[in-house]
Structure 1
Amino acid sequence: MKTIFVKPTDTERKWYVIDAADQRLGRVAVEAARLLRGKHKPEFAPHQEIGDYVVIVNADKVTVTGRKATQKMYYRHSGYLGSLRSESFQKMLKRRPEYPLEHAVRGMLPKNRLGRKLFTNLKVYAGAEHPHTAQQPEVYTIPPVKES
């Protein structure tokens, strides 16, 4: 089986806008990571950057289920003894509304050079306005959950 190499000039890279208002955090992150990697394209190759650009708006209105708003914690550590800081989802959403979505999408991308490059194609905004109207992004609707 031959390895497929798609030239960057041969693939068309689109811009998508995802409205995160009243959507679940994980569902938005899954779809954004899928679009960023290019898994929706027939010429997908896991070692190439052929994905699209994703703009997420209304990040401050994203929701989580159950008691995750108070129980889901975000941690950071400066490297010094006793400097582990934790913050709940609610507080993080008030302080940095873009961070929970960025953190979730980053966790779904590869942990290497390619993943870091793909993450630069993600733009997250707290409000409904974004400065990428010149790229004429398409509105992407998240498919509903299939009940079994």
Structure 2
Amino acid sequence: MEQKTYIPKVQEIQRKWYLINAEGLTLGRLASRIATLLMGKHKSNYTPFFDTGDFVVVINAEKIKVTGKKLEQKLYRHHTGYPGHLKEEKLVDLLARKPEAVIRRAVWGMLPHNRLGRRLIRKLKVYAGPQHPHQAQQPIPLAIEE
């Protein structure tokens, strides 16, 4: 008897909205949980090459914590494209200037780096404070244990 591989149809995918309060949560553990939700790995119809994931809204991004000496030692680097223009910024400075970028970059590192990953990262909404404009979607509050 031949078994067929099940691939979910677009109409069958049930997308939910989750609300995560990042206050006091560790950055890496939070990012891995968010990446799991975005990819849909928590669902029974998960398919690696197909977007079956949910939307995630993260609030209080400015109140995350990191372990060890990462605040002073972790560097974020990017190149502008001009010779000699490699820019470096410490985690503490990026967290003060743009706390949403810290979570977004951590999650992006855990997603596939291709068209699918770019589609998944668009479903992540990160906000520095406790307010967000997604009340109409009725996001489900999700408690993440440390």
| Bin for the TM-score computed over the shorter chain | over 0.9
TM-score norm. by structure 2 comes to 0.95
Q: Distance in 1 between matches of 2:93 and 2:11?
A: 43
- Once the two structures are TM-superposed, the CA of residue 38 in structure 1 deviates from its matched residue by 0.3
Which residue of structure 2 aligns with residue 83 of structure 1?
85
Which residue of structure 2 aligns with residue 32 of structure 1?
34
Residues 32-111 of structure 1 correspond to what in structure 2 (within 5 A)?
Answer: 32-111=34-113
Which residue of structure 1 aligns with residue 9 of structure 2?
7
| Structure 2 counterpart of 1:71, one-letter code | Q
- Once the two structures are TM-superposed, the CA of residue 3 in structure 1 deviates from its matched residue by 3.0
Fraction of identical pairs, as percent: 49
Query: Which 5+ residue runs of structure 2 have no aligned equivalent?
Result: none
In structure 2, the residue corresponding to 1:99 is in which secondary structure? helix
Structure 1 residue runs of 4+, over 3 Å off? none
- Once the two structures are TM-superposed, the CA of residue 93 in structure 1 deviates from its matched residue by 0.6
Q: Distance in 2 between matches of 1:2 and 1:62?
A: 45
Which residue of structure 2 aligns with residue 122 of structure 1?
124
1:123-144 deviations in Å (ceiling 9; x for gaps) = 0000000000000000111133
- Once the two structures are TM-superposed, the CA of residue 82 in structure 1 deviates from its matched residue by 1.4
1:9-49 deviations in Å (ceiling 9; x for gaps) = 11211000111111000011011000000000011110111
Q: Distance in 2 between matches of 1:3 and 1:87?
A: 46
Query: Which 5+ residue runs of structure 1 have no aligned equivalent?
Result: none
2:21 corresponds to 1:19: yes
Matched length: 144
Q: Distance in 2 between matches of 1:111 and 1:88?
A: 24
Q: Distance in 2 between matches of 1:47 and 1:84?
A: 34
- Once the two structures are TM-superposed, the CA of residue 50 in structure 1 deviates from its matched residue by 0.8
Q: Distance in 1 between matches of 2:132 and 2:112?
A: 26
TM-score norm. by structure 1 comes to 0.94
RMSD: 0.9
